[in-house]
Structure 1
Amino acid sequence: MSTPTFWRCEPSWSWTSPPLTDHLLWCVVDGRGAVELDGRRQELRPGVCAVFQPGDAPRATHDPHRRLLVFGMHFATATTAAPDPRWGEVLDRELLGVLARTSDASYRRGDALGRRQAELCLEQLVTLVWDAVHQPGRSAVDTAVDEIARQLRQDPSRDWTVTEMAGRAALSRAQFSRRFVAQFGMSPAQYVIQARIDRAHQLLTESGMTVTETAAALGYTDVPYFSRQYKHRTGRTPSQDRQAQPGFQPSTESAGREAGPE
């Protein structure tokens, strides 16, 4: 890979590339313009990224009053890295910026670890472009619903309500529920339950917490109800999973507390 580079295009800049001999990652960070390749044209704005392959000869121009700021690098690979079409719009511009800056800074450290980190950032950036090409048209609402689902997984013990979730996405309860089911294949309430059971399994098998302690930590006041939900989702009782962890040593007290719910 070549040195990762940011460049602010000069006011009089234009680009007519000879046929490329390697791959080129090309990401717009700021400004406005247009790029053309094989009769296709793409308006350039922040978040539009391309991966060109050997033989491509792109052309580009920009608005001199809104000069392009581009991040990119050349790289070689034995596999096909360029999507078709070559470009897409990466909606998560924060992640795009972090990866670009990290790649640039890491490579310029000049050591083996920095170069490897820059290579990993390149792989992730190319993946983002592929996702943008093959999953276009995701709206701000889709992104908001994804973020809410992420928060549910991060904090499943919280007393989540559909009304609160819908408000965060600026949707009605019915609209939010429909969008959520379309994206995740289950209702928000069922998603919360699954997130709690997933976290319960982790606590039972890794933390040493008892079934009663785990249920309480995840907001269950009824331990038998928690145990039924757990078995329904996993096919095992909470005690079975807890006792399966290496080095499990049941105490008399914990055995007595956990015998009832199952």
Structure 2
Amino acid sequence: MTRQLTPDDGQPLTLALHSPPTFWRCEPSWYWQSRPLPDHLLWCVLDGRGQLQMDGRERELGPGICAVFGPGDEPLARHDPKRRLLVFGMHFEVAADVLPEPRWGEVADRVLLGELARGADTAYRRGSPAGRRQAELYLEQLLHLVWEAATRPSRGRIDVELEEIAQAMRQDPGRQWTVAELAARAALSRAQFTRRFTKQFGASPAQYVIQARVDRAHQLLNETSMSVTQVAAALGYTDVPYFSRQYKQRTGRTPRDARS
């Protein structure tokens, strides 16, 4: 089994799409008992719940679960008709072994997964050689995501939820986050959430968001003409001296010193 998404000579993958990228919301009565596949197939679940079987192994399906099938594979899948699967697929040919082991994995960054899938679809439907090539580049990025997901240690639902929550905190540090709100998003009690979050990230939720604010403040001070007062206000601080103390505690410099 190769562990590179490039041939042994180190050259880039040579991918060729066999059909347009496809999204489909499986019908309520849908049931997939595949004939032996004639080519490779990237198969990603974007929504819904179900089960996938292949080679005597079974995997629960949900958002972020992706599989790579090869010629001759005969996957078997079904779903909950009340939570119908939304699947993205790409049939392709490749001159290197890109099949991960196991054949499936859970992509944690579902936003990126969806963006790459939509990008591939949009590029291909331009109907030009350049658009087709761009779609193949999107496919290569998707294969890297699936390979990484399939070969890293498996993680539970809570771990994935906590990563998504931490990402949201980093992306919007000026928001007034509360432990109660964050715990509800993870379907945990406040005590459970704080314990699991601190164990996973090495900082309590409160300390984590402070660091995210300081990181963003450093960026704003260095990349914009906003004043220290404006930066503090943008990041949710009503007390500028308090903001300056937190900034200095974590960087060793005051905001004014950092700007100069």
User: Which residue of 2 is the match for residue 74 of structure 1?
Assistant: 92
User: Which residue of 2 is the match for residue 136 of structure 1?
Assistant: 154
Matches within 5 A, 1:17-166: 17=37, 24-27=41-44, 34-37=52-55, 40-43=56-59, 45=61, 48-52=65-69, 57-62=72-77, 71-76=89-94, 81-90=98-107, 96=113, 98-133=115-150, 134-139=152-157, 141-166=158-183
Q: What amino acid maps onto 2:90 in structure 1?
A: G
Q: What amino acid maps onto 2:35 in structure 1?
A: W
Contact 1:4 1:103 in 2 (8 A): no
Q: Any gaps of 5 or more consecutive residues in structure 1? A: 244-262
- Measured against aligned partners, the alpha-carbon deviations of 1:218-259 in whole angstroms (never above 9, x if no partner) come to 23344333223212222333123212xxxxxxxxxxxxxxxx
d(CA) in 2 for partners of 1:241 and 1:46? Answer: 46
Higher relative contact order, chain-length normalized (CA < 8 Å, sep 6+): 2
d(CA) in 2 for partners of 1:144 and 1:164? Answer: 13
d(CA) in 1 for partners of 2:230 and 2:108? Answer: 41
The CA deviation at 1:189 is 0.8
d(CA) in 1 for partners of 2:179 and 2:195? Answer: 12
TM score, norm. by length of structure 2: 0.70
Secondary structure of 1:73's aligned partner: strand
The CA deviation at 1:153 is 1.9
The CA deviation at 1:180 is 1.0
| Greater mean deviation of Cα atoms: 225-234 or 201-210 | 225-234
| Greater mean deviation of Cα atoms: 195-204 or 3-12 | 3-12
Contact 1:210 1:242 in 2 (8 A): no
Secondary structure of 1:25's aligned partner: strand
The root-mean-square deviation of aligned C-alpha atoms, in Å, is 3.7
The CA deviation at 1:191 is 0.7
Q: Any gaps of 5 or more consecutive residues in structure 2? A: 1-15
Contact 1:13 1:62 in 2 (8 A): yes
Q: Verify: 1:14 aligned to 2:34, yes or no.
A: yes
The CA deviation at 1:86 is 1.8
| Greater mean deviation of Cα atoms: 210-219 or 25-34 | 25-34
The CA deviation at 1:201 is 0.9
